[in-house]
Chains A and B, each alone.
Chain A
């Protein structure tokens, strides 16, 4: 236990109290260092609090928005991230205040009784507050460290969210395009069917069946369009854009799958080593452990006020005055509360923080395994679609054309097969999208923080399915 009173320490405390000042850049530099390599594969800069990010955003929006540009804009522009930095500023202010010595109290009392007037001046000083200043300053500094880690996680999460929203927006846009092709095929079939019925080659039943395909394809397209807009708006919100800025263009297609993937090794170890939430929990636990000493020190004596009093009494009847000077020390008697409750609470906090470290570690390990498996499966699936299913579907479609050529199959059979072909290509796109989403989640999981619930891979029946209804 530290000695409560030592002149040198006191001087240090005063010096510390004088030095503490709010961080000028709101810790953006430190957070940038913490998040380096963790912002969805983009070296993104955090803007100064008063920087005008407009021109840079406008420049990034000038061409079709790629994933990197989207992340950069989000880090410059996202209102939630700005709020997160404001929270950090509040924490920083708390830290600065905690580092200052407590102000002395001055009390002035005026009491009259008949001809007697008494004026009491008390200058009191919270000695314990001053003595515990180093602990409190250090504690608050650590709170700021934790807040910085929190803000850094917000940055990482925002980068990942933005990248995923961009992937979803581009994929939804591409999907809507494919479903438009499906609708076109159905529309062509329905129109041809109408003409067949008009010249008497088909019954109204056969025509109605083709019409029903068109009706169904139109409904699917409407859903796809809505999904496209929803995905894009989600991205727009993350980018913090509005007005004409929100009319940005997206690329026509997702990036190709990587030709070969680099297998991450020791994913669990990597997650434990690099993740900010793990670091945050470990740091917090260490701070809580260190603060136990402070709590023990202040357990019994949790207040110590030193007052200097000067009492002046005026006797108007006698026309004289007298002054009393003196000092008093006020401290609570540890009669009922011997600090056990405070100690127990601190002990509880410590155990809580240790448990949290365990929980975060378990979660990080598990998420690392899950994200890795999800990523690997998504990659294999996407390749399977690209190398097996789509070429097969294309081959089937080519063979259908040959059968159509030989008048062995009708144009409707050909169009129905074309619809299946387009849907298979769409499923391949979804698999590609799922890979990039899983890739983002893996990066976040291994080096950033918990990505939240990892998604299950979407199932798709379109690829192997038979043409329906024909």
Chain B
């Protein structure tokens, strides 16, 4: 279907919804995004100037000035997001991608957002953290009727305070967020703000989690906590872009959590301070130095640091399951289990069988084996020295002296200067300590007879 025609039709249908004819006549063409690369920062072509953010594997929505009002057009619609090369997931998103485009405005801007619903069910948009008239808050059934499928609603308010925000549905939100409906919102200060530093690099990403059965394409929306795809901006390592900065750049990273669990975000090689939350900038006296900040459910965190250490520094969620790709949660631990004599027997029945997990799970990273279609491997990341044995909520902060100012290009792998890398000890190693489990652990325990009628325990 021709989008232009569709929106013309949607606009005609809107007359009945009671939106003013001015708004109707002014419905802007929605900007669409087909790719999933990190778009360069969108330098504002008009309106108040600001230092734009970079959305990891995402983009910023362009706008149109209309009588001093910034007009955006969000289209809620089914999309296919490539979460990693070759791993595609059916999602619901905005304007061609999940998450939707980042909306960047300046403190005091009047904002008008057209929301067209191309989903099979009704939706709304809640502007998470914004000060706005109650009727613009986007809680379906409470502050407004839901936007029916095929209709366009208009939200209009003033971005009153600077900070880091999100948008997401507040209609059937359990399903719609499990399907990827979300986006970032940044309100820049209109002038120098005493609590908001100027930075050279400003990154943002949302934490999201999906449950995609291996070999399938659509998330299971009823999963509560047992997700198997942990992602930033609906991308998983190694499919996620790196944060590339110039040495001694001041860096801000904005993180929003729309999963159903908290994520301790940990940065290597630097300490940072949390300079802002959903509530706004943190007063300097309240800022803590951290290397890990926990981003609770529904929260935003804004961290800042001086990138003064060259290298490839990991930044990841410290819940170790969250730096894995799809994995079986019912697989028992096989470590230390003797497989001798059994492998051939199993291979007689299952010819392609190979022992895995006997020594741990590192086999998985070292030995790529055929997986079900459209399944992201559990540990897919590879580095210059071998498998990274990680995936999911993981990427790298790349700090380079030679990185040009304003360039977000990936500089490649860091070459550690001679003598600055861990090395193998040249002498003779100490005798190996025995770590084998005792054959009969019970035998070593004192025999205790319970005062019961049972015997043999």
Known: A199-B336, A202-B332, A402-B370. A407 touches B348 (CB 8 A): no
Q: Tell whether, in the assembled complex, residue A401 and residue B350 are in contact, meaning their CB atoms are under 8 Å apart.
A: yes
Instruction: State which of B214, B334, B361, B439 has its C-beta within 8 Å of the C-beta of A403.
Output: B214
Q: Which residues of A contact B336 (CB under 8 A)?
A: 199, 201
CA distance A165 to B385 in the complex (A): 67
Q: Which of A134-157 contact B (CB under 8 A)?
A: none
Q: Which residues of A contact B326 (CB under 8 A)?
A: 406, 408
Chain A 407-431 against B: per-residue CB contact (8 Å), 1 yes, 0 no?
Answer: 1111111110010001000000000
CA distance A188 to B343 in the complex (A): 9
Q: Which of B327-358 contact A (CB under 8 A)?
A: 327-328, 330-339, 342, 345-346, 348-350, 352-354, 356-357
Q: Which residues of A contact B349 (CB under 8 A)?
A: 181, 184-185, 188, 415, 418, 422
Closest to B334 in A: A201
CA distance A404 to B328 in the complex (A): 9
Q: Tell whether, in the assembled complex, residue A408 and residue B441 are in contact, meaning their CB atoms are under 8 Å apart.
A: no
Which of these binds chain B: A190-198, A287-295, A379-387?
A: A190-198
Q: Tell whether, in the assembled complex, residue B332 and residue A410 are in contact, meaning their CB atoms are under 8 Å apart.
A: yes
Q: Is A397 an interface residue (CB 8 A)?
A: yes
Q: Is B215 an interface residue (CB 8 A)?
A: yes
Q: Which residues of B contact A187 (CB under 8 A)?
A: 345
Q: Is B377 an interface residue (CB 8 A)?
A: yes
Q: Tell whether, in the assembled complex, residue B328 and residue A409 are in contact, meaning their CB atoms are under 8 Å apart.
A: yes
Chain A 169-208 against B: per-residue CB contact (8 Å), 1 yes, 0 no?
Answer: 0000000000001001101100110011011111000100
Q: Is B448 an interface residue (CB 8 A)?
A: no
Chain B 376-403 against A: per-residue CB contact (8 Å), 1 yes, 0 no?
Answer: 0110000000000000000000000000
Q: Which residues of A contact B214 (CB under 8 A)?
A: 402-403, 406, 408
Q: Is A252 an interface residue (CB 8 A)?
A: no
Q: Tell whether, in the assembled complex, residue B332 and residue A405 are in contact, meaning their CB atoms are under 8 Å apart.
A: no
Q: Tell whether, in the assembled complex, residue A408 and residue B370 are in contact, meaning their CB atoms are under 8 Å apart.
A: no
Which secondary structure dominates chain A's binding surface? helix
How close is B320's CB to chain A, nearest CB, in angstroms?
14
Q: Tell whether, in the assembled complex, residue B352 and residue A201 are in contact, meaning their CB atoms are under 8 Å apart.
A: no
Instruction: State which of B337, B350, B370 has its C-beta within 8 Å of the C-beta of A199.
Output: B337
Q: Which residues of B contact A415 (CB under 8 A)?
A: 346, 349-350
Q: Which residues of A contact B117 (CB under 8 A)?
A: none
Instruction: State which of B353, B375, B441 has its C-beta within 8 Å of the C-beta of A406.
Output: B375
Q: Which residues of A contact B372 (CB under 8 A)?
A: 399, 402-403, 406, 408
Closest to A408 in B: B328
Known: A188-B345, A411-B346. A198 touches B439 (CB 8 A): yes
CA distance A372 to B356 in the complex (A): 53
Closest to B343 in A: A188
Instruction: State which of B327, B333, B342, B353 has its C-beta within 8 Å of the C-beta of A201.
Output: B333
CA distance A404 to B357 in the complex (A): 11
Interface size class of B (residues with CB under 8 A): 35 or more
Q: Which residues of B contact A418 (CB under 8 A)?
A: 349-350
Instruction: State which of B346, B357, B371 has its C-beta within 8 Å of the C-beta of A188.
Output: B346
Q: Which residues of B contact A202 (CB under 8 A)?
A: 332
Q: Tell whether, in the assembled complex, residue B371 and residue A402 are in contact, meaning their CB atoms are under 8 Å apart.
A: yes
Q: Which residues of A contact B342 (CB under 8 A)?
A: 188, 191-192
CA distance A202 to B336 in the complex (A): 12
Q: Tell whether, in the assembled complex, residue A409 and residue B337 are in contact, meaning their CB atoms are under 8 Å apart.
A: no
CA distance A398 to B372 in the complex (A): 9
Known: A406-B372, A406-B377, A408-B214. A196 touches B332 (CB 8 A): yes
Q: Tell whether, in the assembled complex, residue A399 and residue B437 are in contact, meaning their CB atoms are under 8 Å apart.
A: no
Q: Is B32 an interface residue (CB 8 A)?
A: no
Instruction: State which of A195, A201, A397, A410 has its C-beta within 8 Å of the C-beta of B350.
Output: A397
Closest to A206 in B: B332
Q: Tell whether, in the assembled complex, residue A410 and residue B330 are in contact, meaning their CB atoms are under 8 Å apart.
A: yes
Q: Tell whether, in the assembled complex, residue A407 and residue B370 are in contact, meaning their CB atoms are under 8 Å apart.
A: no
How close is B435's CB to chain A, nearest CB, in angstroms?
11
How close is B324's CB to chain A, nearest CB, in angstroms?
9
CA distance A397 to B349 in the complex (A): 11
Q: Which residues of A contact B357 (CB under 8 A)?
A: 407
Q: Is B364 an interface residue (CB 8 A)?
A: yes
Q: Is B369 an interface residue (CB 8 A)?
A: yes
Q: Tell whether, in the assembled complex, residue A401 and residue B328 are in contact, meaning their CB atoms are under 8 Å apart.
A: no
Chain B 198-225 against A: per-residue CB contact (8 Å), 1 yes, 0 no?
Answer: 0000000000000000110000000000
How close is A159's CB to chain B, nearest CB, in angstroms?
39
Instruction: State which of B215, B337, B346, B356 has its C-beta within 8 Å of the C-beta of A405.
Output: B356
Q: Tell whether, in the assembled complex, residue B437 and residue A408 are in contact, meaning their CB atoms are under 8 Å apart.
A: no
Q: Tell whether, in the assembled complex, residue B328 and residue A403 are in contact, meaning their CB atoms are under 8 Å apart.
A: yes
Q: Tell whether, in the assembled complex, residue B331 and residue A409 are in contact, meaning their CB atoms are under 8 Å apart.
A: yes
CA distance A192 to B364 in the complex (A): 20
Known: A403-B328, A405-B356, A410-B328. A200 touches B345 (CB 8 A): no
Q: Tell whether, in the assembled complex, residue A405 and residue B370 are in contact, meaning their CB atoms are under 8 Å apart.
A: yes
Q: Which residues of B contact A399 (CB under 8 A)?
A: 215, 372
Q: Which residues of B contact A192 (CB under 8 A)?
A: 337, 339, 342
Q: Which of B409-441 contact A (CB under 8 A)?
A: 437, 439, 441
Q: Which residues of A contact B327 (CB under 8 A)?
A: 406-408
Q: Which residues of B contact A188 (CB under 8 A)?
A: 342, 345-346, 349
Closest to B335 in A: A201
Q: Tell whether, in the assembled complex, residue A184 and residue B348 are in contact, meaning their CB atoms are under 8 Å apart.
A: yes
CA distance A402 to B326 in the complex (A): 13
Known: A195-B337, A407-B357. A201 touches B332 (CB 8 A): yes
How close is A426's CB to chain B, nearest CB, in angstroms?
14
Q: Which residues of B contact A201 (CB under 8 A)?
A: 332-337
Closest to A204 in B: B457
Q: Tell whether, in the assembled complex, residue B437 and residue A407 are in contact, meaning their CB atoms are under 8 Å apart.
A: no
Q: Which residues of A contact B377 (CB under 8 A)?
A: 406
Q: Tell whether, in the assembled complex, residue B335 and residue A404 are in contact, meaning their CB atoms are under 8 Å apart.
A: no
Q: Tell whether, in the assembled complex, residue B346 and residue A407 are in contact, meaning their CB atoms are under 8 Å apart.
A: no
How close is A425's CB to chain B, nearest CB, in angstroms?
11
How close is B146's CB to chain A, nearest CB, in angstroms?
37
Q: Which residues of A contact B332 (CB under 8 A)?
A: 196, 201-202, 206, 410, 412
CA distance A192 to B328 in the complex (A): 19
Q: Tell whether, in the assembled complex, residue A407 and residue B378 are in contact, meaning their CB atoms are under 8 Å apart.
A: yes
How close is B217's CB to chain A, nearest CB, in angstroms?
15
How close is B227's CB to chain A, nearest CB, in angstroms?
14
Q: Tell whether, in the assembled complex, residue A407 and residue B364 are in contact, meaning their CB atoms are under 8 Å apart.
A: yes
Given contacts A402-B375, A407-B328, 17 further A-B contacts (CB under 8 A): A187-B345, A188-B345, A191-B342, A192-B339, A196-B334, A199-B335, A398-B352, A403-B372, A404-B356, A407-B364, A408-B372, A409-B328, A409-B331, A410-B331, A411-B346, A411-B353, A412-B332
A-B CB contact pairs (8 Å), 24 listed: A181-B348, A184-B348, A192-B337, A199-B337, A201-B334, A202-B332, A206-B332, A399-B215, A402-B372, A402-B375, A403-B328, A405-B354, A405-B356, A405-B370, A407-B357, A408-B375, A409-B328, A409-B331, A411-B334, A411-B353, A412-B332, A415-B350, A418-B349, A418-B350
5 closest Cβ pairs, A-B complex: A405-B369, A408-B328, A406-B371, A199-B336, A402-B372
B contact residues vs A (CB 8 Å cutoff): 214-215, 326-328, 330-339, 342, 345-346, 348-350, 352-354, 356-357, 361, 364, 369-372, 375, 377-378, 437, 439, 441
